[in-house]
């Protein structure tokens, strides 16, 4: 699986994605849904645009 990830801000560098999976990030009492993205040099969390 080699797709291309283009994040926003400081992460706007093109990177080859090795794996990605759905994930939740716990911020205090709030759980933020999104996905984990693994590249050769980073592990990134990208939140969904909409959280309830």
3-state secondary structure of 12: coil
Per-residue pLDDT, 16: 86
Per-residue pLDDT, 20: 93
pLDDT band at residue 15 using 50, 70 and 90 as cut-offs: confident
Q: Which of 47, 37, 48, 32 is nearest to 13 (CA)?
A: 37
Looking at the whole model, is its pTM more than 0.75?
A: no
């Amino acid at each position: 699986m080699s797709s291309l990830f283009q994040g926003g801000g400081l992460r706007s560098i093109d990177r080859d994605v090795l794996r990605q999976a759905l994930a939740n990030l716990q911020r205090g009492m709030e759980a933020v849904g999104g996905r984990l993205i693994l590249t050769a040099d980073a592990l990134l969390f990208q939140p969904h645009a909409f959280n309830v």
